[in-house]
Amino acid sequence: MTKGLWAHLATPGAEFHVRATPRARQPGLSFTGGKFQIGVTAPADDGRANAAVTETLAHALGVAKTRLTLVRGVISRDKTFRLD
User: Do residues 7 and 1 make contact, with C-beta atoms less than 8 angstroms apart?
Assistant: no
Number of domains in the chain: 1
Whether residue 2 is contained in a domain is answered as: no
Whether residue 31 is contained in a domain is answered as: yes
CATH label of the domain that carries residue 36: 3.30.1200.10
Can you give the residue range of the structural domain that contains 57?
7-63+72-83
30-55 pLDDT per residue, tens: 999 999 999 999 999 999 999 999 99
Whether residue 1 is contained in a domain is answered as: no
How large is the average pLDDT for residues 4-26? 96
pLDDT in the model for residue 84: 95
φ, ψ dihedrals at 76, nearest 5°? -110, 160
Rounding to the nearest 10 degrees, give the CA dihedral for residues 36, 28, 26, 3: -140
1 pLDDT higher than 90: no
Whether residue 14 is contained in a domain is answered as: yes
